[in-house]
Amino acid sequence: MKYYLIVGEASGDLHASHLMTALLKEDPKAEFRFFGGDMMSAVGGTRVRHYRELAYMGIIAVLLHLRTILRNMAFCKRDIVEWQPDAVILVDYPGFNLKIAKYVHEHTKIPVYYYISPKIWAWKEYRIKEIKRNVDELFSILPFEVPFFEQKHHYPIHYVGNPTAEEVRQFRAAYNVSDEEFRREHGLDERPIIALLAGSRKQEIAGNLPQMIAAARRFGGYQLVLAAAPGIDAEFYDAFIGGSGMHVVRGETYALLSHADTALVTSGTATLETALFRVPQVVCYNTALPKLVGFLRRLVLKVKYVSLVNLIADREVVPELVANTFSEANIAEQLKRLLPDGAARREMLEGYEEVWRKIGEDSPSERTAKEMVLKVKR
């Protein structure tokens, strides 16, 4: 069978690569063609575009690169029709992928499967109409999405487990580097580590990292270690970390979290990863015009929280400093509460166990692959 996959960012590349591996187990003759990244390429198949050519975030960035985005979209549509896959698999990235779904539905008979459903429960809930019309099967990785889609919108979906939880479990089972070895490898001393996960896109990093560093540097008994995002050049970080005494690890975020004491994390999948490694965290997300965004957030967002940890728990397990609450002083205040032996730290760790229970222990890549292959063969 032939599978055409489309992802738009680093996390999608990771999750799609595991799905491709699982598809090969179910369908050893599977052929892949994709918009993706290095991890998907390592599994095999033909990469026609790297996700970095798609990953523009924010209105200004999208407008500046609109011609590139439209050119890639037009190419993707033509490429799918010419290759005639047995299924199109979309992974998150709804701004691009829902348009592809519409085109495929209207111009072909190729089934469209969506893995890691669009987060329309947060905003743009009207997209449910597009999903119902253009997506044949939707595979969810967040347990709270089931009642949203099935009860509220009467659209049956598959909850298949969470790929981040699966990846963390696999990593922890295989990881055997001692704390001493990790520190020696990265030139770290014996002080406890504050990990900084500042996002995967340049706009996020530029908006969040300077104040995250400034807040963390207030704690002299700790050392700062930045998890560099894949695809972001070291030179880009230099403008922010010069003179801060910060250490940088690249491609070793899970290893860093295995040894970190606390963390400052930009909202996104990294908040869930940090929780699953049981590292107390402060969730940070800076925006332009923070007061306006803070006001609009109450009007536009349909959910109380922005971090996956709190959304899954359905309560505030981790503090969220977003838009008008994001500041160096607030970050430092929340970070101080999470230092060892504090009640807030213990409560957060108890909340993490609740998140683990709600996610479950299913392998999402394997469950999704089984479902997809069965449906394609019918």
SS3 state at 110: coil
pLDDT, one tens digit per residue, over 84-102 is 999 999 999 898 999 999 9
CA distance 138 to 155: 9
pTM over 0.95: no
| pLDDT attached to residue 269 | 86
For the four alpha carbons of 173, 145, 282 and 11, in that order, the dihedral sign comes to positive
Neighbours of 189 (CB within 10 A): 8
**Residue 329, Cα to own-chain centre: how many angstroms?**
27
In order of their start, the domains of the chain are 2-161+362-377 (3.40.50.2000), 167-359 (3.40.50.2000)
Instruction: Tell me what pLDDT residue 299 has.
Output: 46
Higher-pLDDT residue of 123 and 367 is 367
Residue whose structure tokens are 């760790």 = 349
Query: What mean pLDDT is predicted for residues 227-238?
Result: 88
Select from 373, 360, 370 the least CA-distant residue to 161: 360
Residues of the chain with pLDDT > 90, as a percent, come to 71
Angle at the Cα of 296 from the Cα atoms of 294 and 299, rounded to 5 degrees:
120
**Res 288: pLDDT:** 52
pLDDT of residue 144: 92
Q: What is the mean predicted confidence (pLDDT) over 339-347? A: 85
Q: For residue 74, what are its two tokens?
A: 């037009």
